[in-house]
Structures are given as C-alpha cells and as structure tokens.
Copies of this chain bind each other. A is one copy, B any other.
Amino acid sequence: MRGAVGFGVFAQGDQAPRVGFRIGHGVLDLAAHGLGGVFDEPALNGFLALGRASWEDTLVRVAELVDGGAELVPLAAAMTDLPFTVADYVDFYSSLEHATNLGRLFRPDAEPLLPNWRHLPVGYHGRAGTVVVSGTPIVRPCGQRKAPADDAPTFGASRRLDIELELAFVVGVGSRLGEPVPASAFRDHVFGVTLVNDWSARDIQAWEYVPLGPFLGKSFATSIGAWITPLALLEDRFVPAPVQEPDPHEYLVAAGDWGLDIELEVELSGAVVSRTNSRGLYWTMPQQLAHATVNGASIATGDLFASGTISGADPGSEGSLIELTWNGERAVELADGGSRTFLEDGDEVVLRGRAGDIELAEVRGTILPARC
C-alpha cells in the first residue's frame, strides 16, 4: 500500500454516504464488495465498536480485495464527510517543548513548566460538536480579546489566529463507568489515529483561560482527517518514547515501545513552515488513556484523544505559529514572498504525516473572514 490509507465515509454523486477504505488516490467501496452492515452506515462508529478482531479481519479482507484487483472509486469523484460521530474530545499537552514554549510566552515571569507537568499528562476537554472534517472552511472567530499590550479587553475578530499540529487516537471499544482502562489495554480499545488541527485564537484564549482553561479560544473548530489510519497499519512505526524523569506512577507505566514515528509537516499557503515528528512526544498514547480513565471515567466509541501541539526542540520544528514566530516577533516566510505571524484571511493550512510507506490523511483548512 502507498499513499494515505485509512477508513472513512464517502459518497459518490447522490448515493448515501457509507464507509470506505482509502488507498492513495482511490477508495475501496466496502459495501459494494459484499461487506455490508456497519459499512453501509454514514459513520465509522458501528465498525469501531466491533473491536480489534473485527478490525483486523476487515483489514485482511481489504488486502485480499485490493490484491485481487478490486476497482477503486477515484478519490477525486468522492465526497468525504466527518468519518465518525465524535463522542468526547480530549486534548492533552504532551510535548515537553510545546509546554515549555507556551509557559514562557503566557507566563513570562514564572517557571515555564508547571509542577504537575512531569507527573501526569495534563489535558482538558474540548468541544466535540465542532470537530470538522478536513476541507471544512474555518470562519475567523470573534470574541473578547486581549493582546499582551492591552489594558482591557475589546470585542472583535481574532487578530492572533493560530494552528496546532496534533496527532489523535480514536476509541473503538468503550469502557464501563468506574473501571479504569489500564495502559496495557490500549490496543483493545483504540482503533486508529488521525492528524488534528486544533485551531486556536490566542488573543481570545489569553483573556479567558484563567482559571478554567481554554474555551472559546478553541471551541470554534477543530479539524481532523477524513480517513482514520488503523494502528494495525502502523505496527512497524512504534519506537521507544523519550525517557521520563521522574519515573511515572505505576498506572502510567506502559510496557513496550509507544513512541510513534510519524514525520509531520505544516504547510501554510504553499510553504512548509514546520517539520517535526510525533516520536518526540513526552507522554505516550497509552499513558494518556490510562490517565484519562484512572478516576473511573468511562470512554466511548468515537472518543477523540489528541496529543496537544507537537513541537520539537529545533527551530522550525514547532507545531504552532505562536511558537514558530515567538509570539509574532519573527515572521515565517511564505512561498509567494509574503510572510506571516498569525493567520490571515484566505490562508490555507495543510497538515501532513508520513509513516514510512504510508501517509496519514492530510488535514486541510482555509480561513474565511470573520462575521463581526
């Protein structure tokens, strides 16, 4: 297999949306090849709920069909939709470099990394209902903003609209309330991954976020890929994660290698402005899942758990503009000779991920003008 691969929802012409498997520039129509039931539905949720054995059986059948020369629907002829109904959306803060950078920018007079950060994967809930599929235009949000130099808030369109390059996992099999999901059970519950652009209005966020965390600075839209890549297709991409100091508590210990070696890039209006890799994330996906449920919180089919912004240590490897431009102090260069600190109307952002032979589905979005 080559190019982007994953399960998603597609439709041709006026056909009802249904589940397909994307391979590069084509889509395998599963229902048309005798796989009915959950594949006739307009969302992956039914398939996700079936569990690991069914996911892997389906991949075997997909490989047989492709190897047998099954006809693919040209991707260009397919409309895509949100691949699954999002249950809860959680966003972590798992990159040491990102947390350190944001600490320096948001709290310049204090220690950048807060005391809890190395003890647990800090995270919060985002708005599930505004998760949108790649290609959905993003309307610049309005709200109460306060730039660092302002004394008081003003109302209007965000002037500091940003991106966040993230990787997320998608829950297939849920759990029962009151029963934590151990890190060792990660693969029994989690189906696959997608890139995420957690669009962020920094001026709205800076004013609102104390003490209860980000709200309107993030909730206007979060973009995910149209095709979810199963973990089973990424087996050879698991590598050792960074060493953790201090040792995490027992419930956060995950045997095996859980770093995920995916090369990532951010393209802004034609110019690649950041290159990084998700293997550098300090907190791993099984740790995130174990932490999010250690209090007995249940998970459900369609839950989306994102990594938080993925930033590396080197210049040009940061996953947000506020870091790449150091709070707007140094612009990034675009392909047309222009430059950006934060996003302008009409800008198009594309997130890409490559894992050896295969790619994750891109996450694309264009900024539309504010409506205030």
Q: Which residues of A are at the interface with B, using a C-beta cutoff of 8 A?
A: 87-88, 93, 103, 106-107, 114, 116, 119-120, 122-130, 132, 136, 139, 141-144, 153, 155, 177-180, 201, 204, 207-217, 219-221, 249-251, 291-292, 294-300, 303, 368, 371
Bound-state Cα–Cα, A87 to B88, Å: 8
Q: Is the Cβ of A124 less than 8 Å from the Cβ of B212?
A: yes
Known: A129-B88, A292-B216, A295-B220. A120 touches B106 (CB 8 A): no
Q: Is the Cβ of B142 less than 8 Å from the Cβ of A119?
A: no
Interface residue from B116, B178, B216 paired with A295 (Cβ < 8 Å): B216
Residues of B close to A212: CB separation below 8 A: 93, 122-124, 209, 213-214
Q: Is the Cβ of B216 less than 8 Å from the Cβ of A116?
A: no
Bound-state Cα–Cα, A204 to B292, Å: 12
Nearest-neighbor residue (CB-CB) of A171 within chain B: B129
Residues of B close to A221: CB separation below 8 A: 177, 296
Count of chain copies: 2
Q: Is the Cβ of A178 less than 8 Å from the Cβ of B371?
A: yes
Nearest-neighbor residue (CB-CB) of A124 within chain B: B212
Residues of B close to A144: CB separation below 8 A: 116, 119-120, 249
**Interface majority SS on A: helix, strand, loop or mixed?**
loop
Residues of B close to A128: CB separation below 8 A: 87-88, 128
Since A120-B208, A122-B211, A130-B298 are in contact, a sample of 17 more A-B pairs with Cβ atoms closer than 8 Å, ordered by chain A residue number, is: A88-B129, A116-B210, A119-B144, A120-B153, A124-B213, A124-B214, A125-B215, A129-B298, A129-B300, A130-B177, A139-B177, A143-B294, A178-B371, A209-B212, A219-B297, A220-B297, A296-B371
Q: Is the Cβ of B125 less than 8 Å from the Cβ of A124?
A: yes
Q: Is the Cβ of B208 less than 8 Å from the Cβ of A294?
A: no
8 A–B contacts from the bound complex (CB under 8 Å): A120-B144, A122-B211, A124-B215, A125-B215, A125-B219, A129-B297, A216-B297, A296-B371
Residues of B close to A216: CB separation below 8 A: 291-292, 294-295, 297
Bound-state Cα–Cα, A292 to B251, Å: 36
Which of A125, A179, A292, A303 has the most chain B CB atoms inside 10 A of its CB?
A125
Which of A136, A143, A180, A251 has the most chain B CB atoms inside 10 A of its CB?
A143
Q: Is the Cβ of A296 less than 8 Å from the Cβ of B129?
A: no
Q: Is the Cβ of A130 less than 8 Å from the Cβ of B249?
A: no
Bound-state Cα–Cα, A114 to B206, Å: 13
Q: Is the Cβ of A295 less than 8 Å from the Cβ of B177?
A: no
Bound-state Cα–Cα, A127 to B87, Å: 9
Q: Is the Cβ of B295 less than 8 Å from the Cβ of A143?
A: yes
Residues of B close to A155: CB separation below 8 A: 249-251
Question: What is the CB-to-nearest-CB distance from A212 to chain B, in angstroms, rounded to a whole number?
Answer: 4
Known: A88-B129, A125-B215. A296 touches B119 (CB 8 A): no
Residues of B close to A208: CB separation below 8 A: 116, 120, 122
Question: What is the CB-to-nearest-CB distance from A90 to chain B, in angstroms, rounded to a whole number?
Answer: 8
Q: Is the Cβ of A114 less than 8 Å from the Cβ of B300?
A: no
